[in-house]
Amino acid sequence: MNTDTTIAAISTPTGEGGIGVVRISGSNAADIADSIFTAASGKRLKGSVGYSAHFGTLHDKSGDTIDQCIALVFKAHKSYTGEDIVELSVHGGDYVVRAALRAAIDAGAVPAERGEFTRRAFLNGKLDLSEAEAVMDIISASDRQALSAGLAALGGAVSEKCGRIRDELKFAAATVAAFSDFPDEEPEFSGIDKLGELLENAACRLGTLISDYDTGRMIKNGINTVIIGPPNAGKSTLMNRLTGYDRSIVTPVAGTTRDTVEETVSFGGVTLRLCDTAGLHDTADPVEKIGVERTKERIASADLVIVLLDGSDASYDSSEIMRLVCGKPTVVVYNKSDIAAYEPEGIKDERQFTVSVSAKTGDGIERLADAIKEVTAAEHIDGSSAVYLNERQRDCAVRAERSVKEALSALESGITVDAVGVLIDEALSALYELTGERVTVEVTNEVFSKFCVGK
């Protein structure tokens, strides 16, 4: 990617809105903007101070007016990308915003690639890679917890956590180097006697980061939820109730698995990702209809199982379904409480709650939300204080942990200290990759390809 160019893109979503923004970034941003924008004050943007706003008219290369416009000027180093930026705000209609972009390109700007503004911010040291990734988390956040987690990561929480582990490992590496240089020193003096402790600490911190990944995934993507139960228990009715619960149905998004589309529903303060694969609505008897294996697979990949039973049908034997969900966070819902005052036996354990609802009337639906929060521990999740890795970062942390553990066993089995040093270096490299200090072009391309144009 050539960062000498000045790039431009529409930074607001398509469709009609109050304003639409075209962002221009690069050393020629002010010159390009000056050639298509005339400030009412007569001032040129080129000599304007940073963080200044200018009202005027935007026109195309033949001088025809496009729209009234506010131009915002940001100066290099104190802008999002670290370069000179001009943001042109026009009225938010697709045609007018596209015309503004066309004018900027005709004046010499190059169309920006996906995520190129954020990539430039990364290359100019304004953000590290984990912070750049957090920008996407903030944009895609669908509830408060996801937003808080994204903001924490943008504020450097991931880098800070990794930085602490890295410092420990650097100290371990220095200890190894000192010992290699002066092997006859007293162990207390070189610190080699503390090496095992240092490595154990690092492995433990990495382990916590990795084990929190699932919680972070639930926060960012929603709780992966499967609803199963016998025919006519009311699964479709419950689905409808959930999707209409607080009128905050989130648009269907492409699932993480390629062949599914999911409906993401905000329900009682948690985000549920209801898997909408064929058969979920009419899963019916899981044994007969989709087979035990497929049901098991679906349950295994879920964060939460809702077992829906017909509370008015006392003859139904649920033991087989309950065997399938054994060990998973589960809410057993006895439906149709409006016609059968079935009193479930109560809470089985902290991973399994039982509630009685009427999917038809909505009675008891709040209790279902509370039970979901309890069994998934969503109630206790605090997006702003914990550090949650994404999949790429987790992969780096797993590699770092593996190398640290290998270093530990190498140390314990008395292999040369130099070999331990090599393994510590490997762990450090994986952590540098996590935050982006040492990262291949392929990895950065992969990260920024997930961004939208204009970000």
Residues forming contacts to ligand GDP in the complex (CB under 6 A) are 229, 231-237, 335-336, 338-339, 358-360
Whichever of 127 and 355 has its CB closer to ligand GDP, that residue is 355
Partners of 264 in the β-ladder: 250, 273
Nearest distance in Å: CB 328, ligand GDP? 20
CB of 283 to ligand GDP, least distance (A): 8
| Integer Cα distance of 228 and 286 in angstroms | 7
- CA dihedral of 355, 360, 363, 366, whole degrees rounded to 10: 70
Cα–Cα distance measured from residue 339 to residue 436, given in angstroms and rounded to the nearest whole number: 59
For residue 219, count other CB atoms closer than 10 A to its CB.
29
Our CB check for ligand GDP shows the closer of 106 and 313 to be 313
Q: Which residue is nearest to ligand GDP (CB)?
A: 234
Give me the least distance between CB of 322 and ligand GDP, in Å please: 17
Q: Tokens in use for 283?
A: 């899963």
Cα–Cα distance for residue pair 46/29, rounded to 1 Å: 8
- How far is it, in rounded angstroms, from Cα 101 to Cα 25? 13
| Under 8 Å between Cβ of 84 and 48 | no
Nearer to ligand GDP, 332 or 389 (CB): 332
CB of 339 to ligand GDP, least distance (A): 4
Nearer to ligand GDP, 17 or 344 (CB): 344
CB of 334 to ligand GDP, least distance (A): 10
CB 96 within 8 A of CB 14: no
Q: How far is the CB of 125 from ligand GDP (least distance, A)?
A: 55
Cβ atoms within 10 Å of 90's Cβ, excluding its own = 21
C-alpha neighbours within 13 Å on the C-beta side of residue 447: 29
Query: 121 or 233: whose CB is closer to ligand GDP?
Result: 233
Please say which residue, 73 or 233, places its beta carbon nearer to ligand GDP.
233
Asked if 450 and 136 count as a contact pair (C-beta separation under 8 A), the reply is: yes
Q: Kindly tell me which of 127 and 307 has the beta carbon lying closer to ligand GDP.
A: 307
- SS3 (DSSP) at 296: helix
Tokens of 285: 């008897």
Instruction: Give me the least distance between CB of 273 and ligand GDP, in Å please.
Output: 19
User: E strands within 26-171?
Assistant: 37-39, 52-59, 65-74, 85-92, 110-111
Residue closer to ligand GDP, measured from CB, 13 or 362: 362
CB of 302 to ligand GDP, least distance (A): 18
Phi, psi of 409 (to 5 degrees): -70, -30
